[in-house]
Structure 1
Amino acid sequence: MSDTSTPKLVNLTLRDGQQSTLDAADWVFEPRDFAKIIAASAKAGFHGAEIAGGQSFQIAISRGYNPFTILGAVSHALSESEDMQDFELQMLFRGANALGFRHYDKDVLEITLNEFIKNGITKIRFFDALNDIENLELPESVKAAEGVVLEGAICFTHYPEAPERYSDEYFCHYAQALIDAGYNAIAIKDMSGQLTDDRISTLLPALMKVLEPGDIPLTLHCHSTNTENSSAAIARAIEFGVDVIETAEGCLAGGSSHHALSAVAPQLISDQDSYDKLGNRINQIWGEMPDRKDQEIPQELKEQLCAAGVPGGAMPFVIRDLQQQESTIRAKYLSSPKATDKTIDLEEFSTIVDLFIAELKRVCQDAALPLLVTPTADICCKQAIANLAIGADPYSDSLADRYLNRGGQPNPDPRFAKLILGYYGELKAYDGNGGVHQPKPEVIQFFESNNRLQLTAIERHPSHTVGGNDLREAQHSAWQLIQRLGTKALSFADFDQLTILYALKPAGAVQVDPIEQAVESYVERSERAKIDGSGSTFPDYEALMQPMLSHLSAMFVLRPDLEVKDIPLFPLEKLGKNLCSHLFDIYIDLPIWTSVTSLSNHLSKLLSSSHISPELLEAVRNVSMSLAKLDARPDRQDKDKLTKALDSFSKLTISDLLNSIALINSFINDIAKYGTNPKAYAGRSIGFEDMPWLTKTSGSYQATDPWESRIQQSITGKYLRLENDFQRRSENWKA
């Protein structure tokens, strides 16, 4: 625990700030925007930022962004910035549900977590919707990851009708279970904004006694849905010495999001000018008044839903669904013989919300009082609305009347039945006796008999009964995508990342391939980003260019001293090991190599011909040797050569890489000229060492041979367009 009363600060704007306030179409995913907010946060005294995980993963894909690319660009830029290398990059992970909505095989969880760590995540917050420790088992490779904070989140809730259920003792025992499982930090995750200062006064001291022996830091994550309660809770937590508090800033603060630091703890602002600039930067990106979905809900309704345990992020969807079903719910109430109070004002929408809250409480009772967080919040809220709208008689005490329609059919969404039957895990009591809170036997029996998937109560914990084919099937899908789209797919993501994207894709994505759609959106966006088309001097130029520009856009923000003119001379290794390896994969699969093979075969035939002039023979030999010297691909059968080839590739400059491919393309396109004037195009063989002089402007390099001058004049225009295109685009990113 901290030995000071000043907690560290984490900025949640980029992940939870967006998730709590914006529609998917309004999210921002450009690395340069992330870098701007991170740079401003660091200057304002923040120690870290949450930038990945939660719903951001699926939303990024739906918008044509690779979440790993965003993270990799930002983390590499941080590593290149001397004064921000200790800034923490945080993500949210749903335990066994990973970044999806079902249990995944352990190998999928492991490669996903390791890919995030590889791309620069330094703190991972894990949570489970049921606080089920078995859903939070850490892979050994993740436990062993150096310099990574593994934070277990205690999801907080409170049922006024059963206060003993989620007691301080329960949360303390759960915290100890997390520590025993290998977590080295703990967070209180108050997703619904139910914490009060009174509860903090008992819960925090109790937790600190558990955490103190291991010097385990404690973070408070508290949504501002109930403004008064949450601000008082945070203030009290600071008094008790909580180690970390989290805020959202600028135009995405408050409401169902999180308090701004200025609103809840202004005494922690270390530099007011820098803090004001952070807010201004955020407002520049999203606008002073973005279209916030949470602000459409009256505060009174928010506080009603908050008291019922509905998370702020779920509230807009609950209100939308209730509005869509409002007339049906009203008619159901009026026609029900079990609805006792016919005098209530059903024309008031707040009354519809009251009916929903009452049914939500009954639904939660049937489910043994679960916590309401992703995905259980969505499951239980949707089930309560379905009961009110399509149940035979939602105001009856009969399970059949509430959960079946008048035709005796269950709700089309089977997730609530899966929750009842144990497919999401267990509600452990953490009472020292291995106790588990389960639905009543009659409820379990009812849902075994009434679910569309013909499920029975699970006999083994779901974390031990997953299928085992998730990874293999995802790898197959990734390989098929690369076969269809080639370097377009590889430019978007490497093979391992494509595998993860397929493994975690939404279960309902059957008719369309969301990953292929993401690649196509990415390609379209890349085309729109062009300054002009003159730089496309070889096929799939964009496939190599776009990943580099994403990284550079973040570097320009965090490295103000970076000069655009220096970028083409960067060795590829300066872009980071991950990107260099990614570019190598793209390079190996460029379609130009098919044409090179055809040209090489043609040249071999010429070399073996007895009817060839000495001049042409020399030219053909030089072109053939040039093609070999400009080919940085390895022998795929030799792993040692693969490593050496990657090392050599990483030493190439950006300019050398792009220009060498453009030169190969010139050889391919100019094949007919070798026969008419071979000396003009192939006085000797050319390799990577020749790239610098070939790209010099006329007059800046004195050619030693006539053929050098001719070849320079012939192809230097292409190189100049290519380098100018690169420089113009780099300047555009920097501006």
Structure 2
Amino acid sequence: MVRCIRVDFPFIGACTMTKNKVQITTLTFRDGPQSTGMWDDYFGLVSQSLLEWKTGEEGEALSRLRRIATLVKQAGFTGAEVFWGQSFQKHMLAGISPFEAMALNREVFGPDFMLSGLGRGVNAVGFRPYGQDVIDTFVERFAQRGGVPDKKLMKLRVFDALNNLQNCFRMISAAIRNNQKAERVAANNSLPESERGDDWRHMEPVNLIHIEPALCYQPERQYNDETLYSDEYYVAYAKKLINAAEEAGGTLDSLAIKDMAGQLDPDRAARLIPKLADLGLPVYLHTHSTNYKQAVATARVAADSGIVGVETVEWPLSGGTAHASVRDVIDGMEEQFDPIDLDKLTQLEQELESLWGAKEKLLAEEGDPKAKRLDLRVDEPSRLELWKLGIPGGAMAAVMILLQKDVCTYNKTDLKNANAMFAAELDHLQQRIGWVPLVTPMADIVYTQAVVNLINGKDKIIEHRYAKMIVGLYGQHINHATGKRVAIQESASKAVLDYCRGVQNGDFAMPSFNQTYPKPVILTEQKAPPLELAEARSAFQGILTKCKIDRNSRLADEAVIMRLMEPPASKAVTERLLVNAHRDRIQALLGVLTPSLPAWDVLPAEDIEPTVTSYGGLKRAEVLVKHLLAPATKVADALPVVLSEADALHAIAPSGLDAASKRSAILRLVYGFIENEYLQLASDPSMQIEGTDLPFGPQSSLYFLQSEFDPYTREARRLLHKRWPEEHDSTRLSKAIEHGVSLEQVVPVQ
């Protein structure tokens, strides 16, 4: 049966044969927040839900997360992407173990729903190449924390920013080995126990992974008299991946076109998708909506061209640089797609609006430099300038922050003009280096260098990762259609090599900036040396000891993976998280509060109880501070030590200090009181911040006490040191708390 479909978008007017319906996956919980910068509201919900789930006391947050997950399934979505990309680091910065969040997502979505995650090949979810054992361990934890025995229900999408086969295949091979082990374990467990081998007798089942390599899309480019990113390029790359999997004794389950910047147009989709589908694997499409009409049209043409699944983001995060909404994609073509229940979809959108805000309000802020959605801080014409150059939707929000923070400031210009300057500089860079696909980490490397050039002048300062990319330490940029390396223009390579030669240090390091540059040699074929897991475990033994984790346990592996792939320049944050993530925070906190708060009724139960048991670290302290500042005198009696410390600080503070500064000091003391009790900080050298005598954690009270920017805390530290001059800072503060000694008692205020 042949039927014709008419739609109201350009580019489309196709007659197609009836075929299987197209699946729809929602990206609302991973790429939606990443593309719009709208992380905070969602992570607040996840953080509260996680703590409620771990304590077995389900509250409003976890119930709400379950409602959202249920509506996603009832609306008719095939699956949801919930893992990785930027979210790995964002979880950590929010004080959440990303591995615990994986388990929570599987719990709320259930064992019968497809969940997916995104891995960057040799870079995993970090920002540098990792050794094979690190990748193997990461994939194993991915499978066990979020997976189920059915491989159709746990997808790992793997890509490399350079479409480099070796880089991409490092993670694919790890997934193949995981699946091979899962099959062996399942076969062994099916035998009577007497027939099982000793090593396999009590082996726990291993979850299977759906393996899906992604081809990072760029439109065809002419560069140095050759054509880059032709149809032949993508078909050849896909064939290499399929063959490599077969040689490793495994198979791939599907392919994906990763159109990270939304540049795939309908005509190209109609040509490329059938060629990839002819390779015999299902093909999925991931395309961003920076050019909204084109994104919708491309998804609809893809449905007519052999695509198996498309991906959407729902209100209020759809559009902008995120993804098209399912409503627009299926409108008028409902018979082509898996059925969507529009009533349930409306309920889902209402739940999401209550979390993130009404779409109409967010869109009304478009062009406002203070818009809540970062991708809407410049108007659509300005976004389209960056879209033409391939800035990925998931990075647009980060680019806007850089332009506002740095380019506008240093060039004394507005955001719109800074956007135009950036577009011109990015085009200049790409024409020199061969139009590398702009996806993590290449996107961050290239656009950061563009910003550096705008601030300092072209090639005056070379960002160290950009230098490593130029000399080949991130892998080779290959034109798969010809099999040849894409040559970088001599002017670009010369600028980098000259800069490396000019670095003063003989080790090519700039210690003050914690940056190491590659040696200024000819362009090399080598890759960056990997960091093996055993080496990493040894390096972080102090963390594992402090967490009371067996270094050979699965939790130890997770702790090490988090540390290896932590957010840049966030060592102390990660250390605090690693300790918090693997100790019973709730019971420990209550152990501190119970003696101080013998009667819970002195605080409003409906406010304090769910909040104290739902937030970690600083959030708990903030809740206590609200009540410490309340007029209820019973509250002041409840924490006499903390208030004594706060009063003493207030007494020694410079005259004229405002109430906000006093609140800040109280906050620090409250947090210090809690943290020093339940984390039991000690003078363990392995837990100190380099260059200080302080234990870990920028949220640590001791960090605050060493601050050079706050006269309160600087004076408090001096007084504590004078009282116990021979003791370590952590011991001094612990003694002060233990003995109820106020700072006024330590040294009388003059």
TM-score over 0.5 (shorter chain): yes
How much has 1:13 moved relative to structure 2?
0.9
In structure 2, what is the equivalent of residue 601 of structure 1?
A: none
Residue identity in the other structure for 1:379: I
2:288/2:323 contact within 8 Å kept: yes
SS, match of residue 251 in structure 1: coil
In structure 2, what is the equivalent of residue 372 of structure 1?
A: 438
Rounded Cα–Cα distance in structure 1 between residues aligned with 2:221 and 2:433: 16
2:547/2:583 contact within 8 Å kept: no
499, 514, 519: which one aligns with 1:455: 519
2:134/2:533 contact within 8 Å kept: yes
Rounded Cα–Cα distance in structure 2 between residues aligned with 1:131 and 1:284: 39
* CA 444–43 in structure 1, closer or farther in 2 if over 3 Å, else same: same
435, 459, 472: which one aligns with 1:403: 459
Residue identity in the other structure for 1:169: E
219, 226, 236: which one aligns with 1:173: 236
2:158/2:168 contact within 8 Å kept: yes
Residues 150-209 of structure 1, C-alpha deviation per residue, up to 9 Å, x if partnerless? 100011112555593111111111111222232321111111111111111211122222
SS, match of residue 172 in structure 1: helix
2:126/2:564 contact within 8 Å kept: no
1:62/1:518 contact within 8 Å kept: no
How much has 1:274 moved relative to structure 2?
1.6
Residue identity in the other structure for 1:372: L
Residue identity in the other structure for 1:380: V
Residues 91-132 of structure 1, C-alpha deviation per residue, up to 9 Å, x if partnerless? 000000111111011100000011010112310000111010
Q: Which has the larger radius of gyration?
A: 1
Rounded Cα–Cα distance in structure 2 between residues aligned with 1:10 and 1:531: 44
Q: How many correspondences in the alignment?
A: 495
* CA 485–160 in structure 1, closer or farther in 2 if over 3 Å, else same: closer
Residues 396-451 of structure 1, C-alpha deviation per residue, up to 9 Å, x if partnerless? xxxxxx202xxxxx33x21111111111111111135x311121345324322213
2:163/2:477 contact within 8 Å kept: yes
In structure 1, what is the equivalent of residue 619 of structure 2?
A: none
Residues 345-382 of structure 1, C-alpha deviation per residue, up to 9 Å, x if partnerless? xx675444333222211211222220111111111112
- The yes-or-no answer on 1:430 pairing with 2:456 is no
Residue identity in the other structure for 1:438: A
Rounded Cα–Cα distance in structure 2 between residues aligned with 1:518 and 1:63: 12
1:63/1:518 contact within 8 Å kept: no
Mapping for residues 283-322 of structure 1, pairs under 5 Å: 283-288=353-358, 291-322=372-403
Identity, % of aligned pairs?
A: 30
439, 448, 452: which one aligns with 2:488: 439
Residue identity in the other structure for 2:326: L
SS, match of residue 278 in structure 2: helix
- The yes-or-no answer on 1:388 pairing with 2:454 is yes
Residues 518-553 of structure 1, C-alpha deviation per residue, up to 9 Å, x if partnerless? 5448879747997997799xxxxxxxxx9xx99xxx
Mapping for residues 691-706 of structure 1, pairs under 5 Å: none
In structure 1, what is the equivalent of residue 21 of structure 2?
A: 6
Residue identity in the other structure for 1:17: G
How much has 1:277 moved relative to structure 2?
1.8
- The yes-or-no answer on 1:132 pairing with 2:164 is yes
How much has 1:247 moved relative to structure 2?
0.8
SS, match of residue 158 in structure 1: coil
1:5/1:238 contact within 8 Å kept: no
Residue identity in the other structure for 2:117: M
114, 131, 134: which one aligns with 1:108: 134
SS, match of residue 57 in structure 1: helix
Mapping for residues 206-245 of structure 1, pairs under 5 Å: 206-210=275-279, 212=280, 216-245=281-310
Mapping for residues 10-21 of structure 1, pairs under 5 Å: 10-21=25-36
Greater relative contact order, per chain length (Cα 8 Å cut-off, separation 6+):
1
Residue identity in the other structure for 2:474: Y
SS, match of residue 361 in structure 1: helix
Residue identity in the other structure for 2:314: E
Rounded Cα–Cα distance in structure 1 between residues aligned with 2:595 and 2:31: 39
How much has 1:502 moved relative to structure 2?
1.9
How much has 1:36 moved relative to structure 2?
3.5
Mapping for residues 553-632 of structure 1, pairs under 5 Å: none
- The yes-or-no answer on 1:187 pairing with 2:256 is yes
In structure 2, what is the equivalent of residue 202 of structure 1?
A: 271
In structure 2, what is the equivalent of residue 472 of structure 1?
A: 534
1:328/1:389 contact within 8 Å kept: no
346, 350, 359: which one aligns with 1:276: 346
1:6/1:241 contact within 8 Å kept: no
- The yes-or-no answer on 1:497 pairing with 2:547 is no
* CA 389–272 in structure 1, closer or farther in 2 if over 3 Å, else same: same
In structure 1, what is the equivalent of residue 315 of structure 2?
A: 250
SS, match of residue 177 in structure 1: helix
SS, match of residue 123 in structure 1: strand
SS, match of residue 129 in structure 1: coil
SS, match of residue 303 in structure 1: helix
* CA 92–462 in structure 1, closer or farther in 2 if over 3 Å, else same: farther
Moved more, 423-432 or 26-35: 26-35
Residue identity in the other structure for 1:420: I
SS, match of residue 130 in structure 2: coil
Aligned CA RMSD, in angstroms, stands at 3.5
In structure 2, what is the equivalent of residue 362 of structure 1?
A: 428
1:65/1:518 contact within 8 Å kept: no
Rounded Cα–Cα distance in structure 2 between residues aligned with 1:112 and 1:248: 27
Rounded Cα–Cα distance in structure 2 between residues aligned with 1:522 and 1:253: 36
Rounded Cα–Cα distance in structure 1 between residues aligned with 2:89 and 2:294: 32
- The yes-or-no answer on 1:155 pairing with 2:212 is no
How much has 1:77 moved relative to structure 2?
5.3
Rounded Cα–Cα distance in structure 2 between residues aligned with 1:151 and 1:23: 27
In structure 2, what is the equivalent of residue 397 of structure 1?
A: none
In structure 1, what is the equivalent of residue 624 of structure 2?
A: none
How much has 1:324 moved relative to structure 2?
3.7
Residues 628-681 of structure 1, C-alpha deviation per residue, up to 9 Å, x if partnerless? xxxxxxxxxxxxxxxxxxxxxxxxxxxxxxxxxxxxxxxxxxxxxxxxxxxxxx
* CA 348–51 in structure 1, closer or farther in 2 if over 3 Å, else same: closer
Residues 318-366 of structure 1, C-alpha deviation per residue, up to 9 Å, x if partnerless? 23333344467758xxxxxxxxxxxxxxx67544433322221121122
Rounded Cα–Cα distance in structure 1 between residues aligned with 2:214 and 2:342: 31
How much has 1:314 moved relative to structure 2?
2.0
Long gaps (5+) in structure 2: 1-16, 51-61, 148-153, 183-206, 246-251, 363-371, 504-516, 597-609, 615-677, 680-750
* CA 477–281 in structure 1, closer or farther in 2 if over 3 Å, else same: farther
The two structures have a TM-score, normalised by structure 2, of 0.60
Mapping for residues 460-539 of structure 1, pairs under 5 Å: 461-462=525-526, 466-468=529-531, 470-486=532-548, 494-506=555-567, 508-510=569-571, 512=572, 514-517=574-577, 519-520=579-580, 526=586
Rounded Cα–Cα distance in structure 1 between residues aligned with 2:243 and 2:340: 36
Rounded Cα–Cα distance in structure 2 between residues aligned with 1:535 and 1:49: 45
65, 76, 85: which one aligns with 1:45: 76
Rounded Cα–Cα distance in structure 1 between residues aligned with 2:594 and 2:407: 57
Residue identity in the other structure for 1:516: R
Residue identity in the other structure for 1:209: D
SS, match of residue 30 in structure 2: helix
Residue identity in the other structure for 1:156: Y
Residue identity in the other structure for 2:342: Q
Rounded Cα–Cα distance in structure 1 between residues aligned with 2:307 and 2:134: 34
SS, match of residue 240 in structure 1: coil
The two structures have a TM-score, normalised by structure 1, of 0.62
Residue identity in the other structure for 2:556: F
Rounded Cα–Cα distance in structure 2 between residues aligned with 1:209 and 1:454: 42
1:69/1:493 contact within 8 Å kept: no
How much has 1:17 moved relative to structure 2?
0.9
In structure 2, what is the equivalent of residue 344 of structure 1?
A: none
1:127/1:153 contact within 8 Å kept: yes
* CA 294–513 in structure 1, closer or farther in 2 if over 3 Å, else same: closer
Residues 236-280 of structure 1, C-alpha deviation per residue, up to 9 Å, x if partnerless? 001113101111112122211111101221324432222222222
In structure 2, what is the equivalent of residue 70 of structure 1?
A: 101
